[in-house]
Amino acid sequence: MEVRAFLEKALPELGNIWYQLLAYTVRPEKDEVAPEVRVFEWLMHVVRARRLLHRVHQRLLSLYPAISEDLLERVRMLELEAERLLEGSGSEHEEALVRFAEEGLRCLRDIEDQLAGSKLPGDSGV
Protein backbone atom coordinates (compact mmCIF):
# COMPACT_ATOMS: atom_id res chain seq x y z
CA MET A 1 0.00 0.00 0.00
CA GLU A 2 1.28 3.46 -0.87
CA VAL A 3 2.62 5.34 2.16
CA ARG A 4 0.25 8.31 1.89
CA ALA A 5 -2.77 6.01 1.44
CA PHE A 6 -1.74 3.97 4.48
CA LEU A 7 -1.28 7.11 6.60
CA GLU A 8 -4.61 8.56 5.45
CA LYS A 9 -6.27 5.45 6.87
CA ALA A 10 -4.07 4.89 9.93
CA LEU A 11 -3.91 8.43 11.32
CA PRO A 12 -7.69 8.87 11.80
CA GLU A 13 -7.77 5.42 13.42
CA LEU A 14 -5.06 6.50 15.87
CA GLY A 15 -6.97 9.70 16.59
CA ASN A 16 -10.07 7.66 17.35
CA ILE A 17 -8.11 5.42 19.71
CA TRP A 18 -6.69 8.41 21.59
CA TYR A 19 -10.11 10.05 21.93
CA GLN A 20 -11.53 6.78 23.26
CA LEU A 21 -8.70 6.55 25.79
CA LEU A 22 -9.47 10.08 26.98
CA ALA A 23 -13.14 9.13 27.28
CA TYR A 24 -12.21 6.26 29.61
CA THR A 25 -10.74 8.72 32.07
CA VAL A 26 -14.05 10.58 32.41
CA ARG A 27 -16.17 8.69 34.87
CA PRO A 28 -19.91 9.23 34.90
CA GLU A 29 -21.55 9.82 38.28
CA LYS A 30 -23.07 6.35 38.13
CA ASP A 31 -20.63 4.08 36.31
CA GLU A 32 -22.29 0.86 35.24
CA VAL A 33 -19.07 -0.57 33.84
CA ALA A 34 -17.02 -2.70 36.22
CA PRO A 35 -13.53 -1.27 36.83
CA GLU A 36 -11.96 -4.46 35.51
CA VAL A 37 -13.88 -4.17 32.25
CA ARG A 38 -12.88 -0.51 31.91
CA VAL A 39 -9.20 -1.41 32.41
CA PHE A 40 -9.41 -4.28 29.92
CA GLU A 41 -10.99 -2.01 27.31
CA TRP A 42 -8.35 0.68 27.60
CA LEU A 43 -5.59 -1.92 27.57
CA MET A 44 -6.94 -3.23 24.27
CA HIS A 45 -6.92 0.32 22.88
CA VAL A 46 -3.32 0.81 24.01
CA VAL A 47 -2.35 -2.48 22.32
CA ARG A 48 -3.98 -1.29 19.09
CA ALA A 49 -2.28 2.10 19.38
CA ARG A 50 1.13 0.51 19.97
CA ARG A 51 0.80 -1.75 16.92
CA LEU A 52 -0.44 1.08 14.73
CA LEU A 53 2.25 3.47 16.01
CA HIS A 54 4.90 0.95 15.01
CA ARG A 55 3.52 0.71 11.49
CA VAL A 56 3.10 4.49 11.20
CA HIS A 57 6.67 5.02 12.42
CA GLN A 58 7.99 2.61 9.79
CA ARG A 59 6.07 4.39 7.02
CA LEU A 60 7.19 7.81 8.23
CA LEU A 61 10.81 6.65 8.29
CA SER A 62 10.51 5.91 4.59
CA LEU A 63 9.56 9.57 4.03
CA TYR A 64 12.58 11.07 5.81
CA PRO A 65 13.70 13.88 5.29
CA ALA A 66 10.22 15.08 4.19
CA ILE A 67 9.14 14.20 7.76
CA SER A 68 11.27 15.81 10.46
CA GLU A 69 13.59 13.79 12.64
CA ASP A 70 11.94 15.32 15.72
CA LEU A 71 8.52 14.05 14.67
CA LEU A 72 9.90 10.58 13.92
CA GLU A 73 11.35 10.50 17.43
CA ARG A 74 8.06 11.61 18.99
CA VAL A 75 6.21 8.77 17.26
CA ARG A 76 8.84 6.30 18.48
CA MET A 77 8.53 7.65 22.03
CA LEU A 78 4.75 7.24 21.90
CA GLU A 79 5.25 3.61 20.93
CA LEU A 80 7.58 3.14 23.92
CA GLU A 81 5.09 4.87 26.21
CA ALA A 82 2.38 2.47 25.03
CA GLU A 83 4.64 -0.43 26.00
CA ARG A 84 5.17 1.09 29.46
CA LEU A 85 1.43 1.56 29.93
CA LEU A 86 0.87 -2.10 29.12
CA GLU A 87 3.33 -3.17 31.80
CA GLY A 88 1.38 -1.55 34.64
CA SER A 89 -2.04 -1.59 36.20
CA GLY A 90 -4.73 0.44 34.44
CA SER A 91 -6.28 2.12 37.46
CA GLU A 92 -2.88 3.28 38.72
CA HIS A 93 -1.85 4.79 35.39
CA GLU A 94 -4.78 7.04 34.57
CA GLU A 95 -2.65 10.21 34.52
CA ALA A 96 -0.08 8.51 32.27
CA LEU A 97 -2.92 7.38 30.01
CA VAL A 98 -4.19 10.96 29.69
CA ARG A 99 -0.68 12.24 28.91
CA PHE A 100 -0.22 9.47 26.32
CA ALA A 101 -3.51 10.30 24.58
CA GLU A 102 -2.95 14.05 24.67
CA GLU A 103 0.61 13.76 23.30
CA GLY A 104 -0.69 11.32 20.69
CA LEU A 105 -3.27 13.84 19.51
CA ARG A 106 -0.65 16.64 19.37
CA CYS A 107 1.69 14.37 17.42
CA LEU A 108 -1.11 13.36 15.07
CA ARG A 109 -1.85 17.00 14.29
CA ASP A 110 1.85 17.65 13.62
CA ILE A 111 2.11 14.62 11.31
CA GLU A 112 -0.91 15.80 9.36
CA ASP A 113 0.58 19.31 9.11
CA GLN A 114 3.90 17.98 7.81
CA LEU A 115 2.19 15.65 5.34
CA ALA A 116 0.01 18.49 4.04
CA GLY A 117 3.05 20.65 3.40
CA SER A 118 5.27 17.99 1.82
CA LYS A 119 5.61 16.46 -1.58
CA LEU A 120 6.10 12.78 -0.83
CA PRO A 121 7.63 10.04 -2.96
CA GLY A 122 4.90 8.60 -5.13
CA ASP A 123 2.78 11.78 -5.15
CA SER A 124 1.64 12.78 -8.61
CA GLY A 125 3.10 15.90 -10.14
CA VAL A 126 -0.36 17.42 -10.68
Predicted confidence (pLDDT) at residue 121 exceeds the cutoff of 70: no
- Residue 94: what pLDDT? 79
Q: What angle do CA 69, 7, 75 make, to 5 degrees?
A: 35
Report residue 50's pLDDT band, with 50, 70 and 90 as the boundaries.
very high
Predicted confidence (pLDDT) at residue 91 exceeds the cutoff of 90: no
DSSP 120: P
- Tens digit of pLDDT for each residue in 51-75? 999 999 999 999 998 899 999 999 9
- HEC string for the chain: CCHHHHHHHHHHHHHHHHHHHHHHCCCCCCCCCCHHHHHHHHHHHHHHHHHHHHHHHHHHHCCCCCCCHHHHHHHHHHHHHHHHHHHCCCHHHHHHHHHHHHHHHHHHHHHHHHHHCCCCCCCCCC
